[in-house]
Every structure is written in C-alpha cells, then in structure tokens.
Amino acid sequence: MKALKRAFLFGEMMHKNFMKRAIELAKLGGSNVFPNPQVGAVIVKDNQIIAEGYHQVFGGDHAEVNAFNQATSDVSGAEMYVTLEPCSHYGKTPPCALKIIEKESKRFMLQQKIQIHSSLEKGYNY
C-alpha cells in the first residue's frame, strides 16, 4: 500500500511541475499578447517534456499550436498541460481545440476555464 501511495504522490508532483512550467511559459508573453491572455502549454510523453509553447504576440499562433510546432517527437498519445481553456472559435487563428483533437492527445490538463460568455467551456467540451 505504501508503494501505491508513493507512486500516486510522485504522479501528483509530476503533474504540478508540468503545470508550473506551463505557467512560467505563459508569463513570457508579457504585454505582447494584449488584449488576449497569457497562455503557456507543455506537451509530455512518457513523463518527458517533448514540446513547449506560449502565446507570443497578439494575432499570432496560440500556445498550443506553438507547442505542437516545437515537438521533438510524435505527439499522438501525449499529455498536454495548458494554463487556459483552448479556444474553440475561428478568429485571427483557427480553433486550438480542433488542433488538440487532430493531434490525438491522450489527456489534457487544464489550469483554468475561460470565464467570458462567448467562449465559456466550448474548448473544454469539444
């Protein structure tokens, strides 16, 4: 039983570290992304980070797409850690939610859902 608990705690620590890294990346966007939010993304496969990305500039690719573009190996079956719910609408860029589905991510970890009425939970519910 102790081994199982230790494995669970190790897994929780890993999740927190990956999300913490996504938060660090999000901050790199600074004011360049205004009026959009700062968003960071980390893609993990076999407990190793294989890609990172963040929203770098307003009108540019979002964090999820930048992470996919930086992947060092196949992302299918990987886990993605993102600081904000993926967009689900066509604007200056296509929906990130569709890209995540297209890339066949195994699991998606989300720090926060969007709280504005036009996007509320649409990306999360895709």
Catalytic residues, which ones? 64
Exposure on the CB side of residue 60, measured as CA atoms within 13 A: 16
Q: β-strand 79-82 against 40-45: which pairing, if any? A: antiparallel
Rounded to 10 degrees, the C-alpha dihedral 22/23/24/26 comes to 90
C-alpha distances (whole Å) from 35 to each of 7, 19, 121 are 41, 23, 20
Instruction: Answer yes or no: are the C-beta atoms of 91 and 76 closer than 8 Å.
Output: no
Query: Is the alpha carbon torsion for 33, 70, 15, 116 positive or negative?
Result: positive
